Amino acid sequence: MITVIAGGVGAARMLRALLQVVDASDVTTIVNVGDDLVLHGLHISPDLDTVTYTLAGAINPETGWGLVNESWQARTMLEQYGGVSWFGLGDRDLGTHLYRTQRLREGADLATVTAEIAQAWNLGLTVLPATCDQLQTMVTLAADDPADADSPGLPAGTEISFQEYFVQRQHSVPISAVRFDGAEATTAAPGVLEAIETANLIVIAPSNPLVSIAPVLAVPGIREALIRRRSAVVAVSPIIAGAALKGPADRMLSELGHDASVLGVAALYKEFTNTLVIDSADAALQSDVEAFGLNCIVTETIMSQPGVSESLARTVLSGVSR
């Protein structure tokens, strides 16, 4: 049994790689919901959807998010009204949000709805939100955000939601803090703690440590469960040669006082991680990672390269026994 702690795009690719070499029924993923938002009254769960669509083979390969063969009629109409359109809602994707929102309004919890959606796509693995409760990742701007067509501009010190930072501002503003609003009042979704406690291997996917993995850990009980299972935890670094493959993880690490390198990842993860898998490009840092008290495996980790995803999956699976 394998449990994967997941954010969005990087985690979805790691899961897809793992499913090349293990049976889906043996895999559970615990997915970040700190990026969730309510927009136009719809409950949107970007990381859950990215994982689901990727594993269903339905992800838009050009963007890494949203559905393939998507149309944009609703958004075109919304733009005609001058409505909020910075968050890209494709027509097919809207079907998912409509379904989730309706079910939540009927009283189903997010874990139930997530399972129904995974079932509809015949995913085979178990997809769990970290929590069914509200937990919202907030970031504090470190500099003034200039006004533009979508926004009147915001002064340094303003706290905004993750999607307002990540999508609306394309993470173009430096930040000074990250906070998981409401986290202390949440409880782990049904099955989450059990999936950590009973797994033979726990994988921390190559997702942003600060805004994809950390909000999962902020749910009371999850970090503690991982610490108890530390010997079974293998993390894959999302930072390669000081840079994130996608997204602002490297810049965020620097801005928040961490090393923007595998060493920064090692420092953040050492408490609950036994083994850190780093890219061959960082081979020179292996002993520095080990100095954090971690096993360190060096291998190819860029899953878009031919053959890498399957070999990375096999390396991760072997990681726990090294």
Residues engaged in binding a copy of itself (CB under 8 A): 38-43, 70-71, 73-78, 80-84, 89-99, 101-103, 105, 116-117, 120
**One-letter identity of residue 296:** C
Backbone angles phi, psi at 299, to 5 degrees: -160, 175
Shortest Cβ distance from residue 49 to a copy of itself (Å)? Answer: 12
Give the residue with the Cβ less far from a copy of itself, 96 or 207: 96
Contact 6, 205 (CB under 8 A): yes
Nearest distance from C-beta of residue 156 to a copy of itself, angstroms: 25
Q: Which C-beta is closer to a copy of itself: that of 105 or that of 322?
A: 105
Cβ proximity to a copy of itself, 73 vs 200, nearer residue: 73
Residue ranges of the alpha helices (H) in the chain? 9-18, 46-55, 73-80, 91-105, 110-120, 162-163, 192-198, 214-217, 222-228, 249-255, 262-269, 286-290, 308-319
Burial of 107: CB neighbours in 10 Å, binned 0-12, 13-18, 19+? exposed
In the complex, the smallest distance separating the C-beta of residue 64 from a copy of itself, rounded to whole angstroms, is 19
Return d(Cα 259, Cα 270) in angstroms, integer: 14
Q: Which is nearer to a copy of itself, 13 or 97 (CB)?
A: 97
Asked whether the beta carbons of 141 and 156 are under 8 A apart, the reply is yes
Question: Quick check: helix, strand or coil at residue 189?
Answer: coil
Nearer to a copy of itself, 73 or 198 (CB): 73
Cβ of residue 68: shortest distance to a copy of itself, in angstroms? 12
Nearest-approach distance from CB 29 to a copy of itself, in angstroms: 19
